[in-house]
Amino acid sequence: MIADPAPKTRPLLYKYVGIAGLRSILEGSIRFTQPSAFNDPFEMLPEIIVPNDAAERQISVSFDILANSPIPRGESAESIPDGCGSSDAISRDIVQQLNQVIGILSLSKIHNSLLMWSHYANQYAGAVVAFDGSHDFFAGQIDVEYRATRPRRHVNTYLAEIPIPVAELCTKSDQWAYEQEVRIIRRLTDCVRSGADSRDIPVFTRAVPIESINSVILGERTTVAEQRDIFARIMNTNISLSLAAVDHAGFTFREERIKYGVPISEIGPMISPRTAHIFKDLPSHLGELARWMVEHHPMSKIVNRPT
């Protein structure tokens, strides 16, 4: 087995994406998403406790984006005091204010979650991008807290003239714990607006440095045409490329290496029955070898059957 010529020991953070999202990242752009655009309707929506006799009111809150402290346990309300209730209106008002101020880049500590491959990487037809978590672009990392109960805060916490750390709101149901999410939060004023998504939600992006990208893992169901396109985009970079393939046993994937983390002028790509289709149309000895493997290797037709 050939050792990776450029082994990486830096902490990695992973982004599950569709192919369109992967192309955007490789072109130097990544989305920072407003809280209400996420798939969890409880996103940054704490339960706000108010006195029952309090008049309905809108509140204006300022936020501290850089502070990354968790919710102070001493200030959270584990039960609703007598004479008080929960105000859904104030909770939603806080989120709407956040939507006008911040964008969130959601990453993960893991690259092999079957659920995340399905939910965020186009049902295994997308990719996982590994980033160098020590790069300055990822400063201010916030680990999402997972809890069995929704956090409660008294409204007075938000009426005090003290900016609320956004990190205090990065709490989700423990049913999401498998995501092992890490967040990077930036002000929308530091992002670029670039149209709207399919739900007509404004899209904000930031320029992501290409040198912060460590590797790309393509999904089991990524089409050959897309495999070729991504290979062509990173063949002369220091980004390594692999293809996730259903393993021989268990609910796992094996990574079929396509290229190492150096330009292919230094170390050529790897050809296997699973990856040969990427290279078979090349007018070179590499293409000749790939064509032979596609046509003659006994595993070629088997491993390239769609699942």
Burial group, residue 77, by CB count within 10 angstroms (0-12, 13-18, 19+): middle
Distance CA 94, CA 146 (A): 20
Report if residue 61 sits inside a domain. yes
The pLDDT, as a whole number, for residue 73 is 38
Distance CA 42, CA 172 (A): 7
Distances from the Cα of 303 to the Cαs of 43, 127, 231, 276, in angstroms? 40, 19, 19, 11
Query: Residue 214: which H helix or E strand, with range?
Result: strand 213-218
Q: Is the pLDDT of residue 232 over 50?
A: yes
Chain segment 43-78, per-residue pLDDT in tens: 988 888 888 877 666 677 778 887 665 544 334 556
Distance CA 91, CA 107 (A): 25
Say whether both 119 and 16 belong to one domain: yes
Distance CA 247, CA 244 (A): 9
Over pLDDT 70: what percentage of the chain? 88
CB atoms within 10 A of CB 265: 8
Report if residue 230 sits inside a domain. no
* Phi, psi angles (nearest 5°) of residue 69: -80, 145
Report if residue 255 sits inside a domain. no
Report if residue 135 sits inside a domain. yes
With tokens 């880049």, the residue in question is 105
Distance CA 178, CA 108 (A): 10
Report if residue 122 sits inside a domain. yes
Report if residue 256 sits inside a domain. no
- Cα 293–chain centre separation: 35
Domain finish residue from 180, 207, 234: 207
Domain finish residue from 163, 189, 207: 207
The pLDDT, as a whole number, for residue 188 is 95
Domain finish residue from 159, 189, 207: 207
Distance CA 303, CA 164 (A): 53
Greatest mean pLDDT range, 18-32, 87-101, 238-252: 18-32
Report if residue 229 sits inside a domain. no
Chain segment 207-222, per-residue pLDDT in tens: 999 999 999 999 999 9
Say whether both 162 and 302 belong to one domain: no
Q: What is the DSSP string of 264-282?
A: TTTSPPP--TTTHHHHTT-
Report if residue 201 sits inside a domain. yes
The pLDDT, as a whole number, for residue 67 is 66
Beta bridge partners of residue 146, listed in sequence order: 172
The pLDDT, as a whole number, for residue 302 is 62
2 confidence band (pLDDT: 50, 70, 90):
very low
* Phi, psi angles (nearest 5°) of residue 295: -85, -30
Domain containing 276 equals 271-307
Number of domain units in the chain: 2
Beta bridge partners of residue 227, listed in sequence order: none
Say whether both 49 and 144 belong to one domain: yes
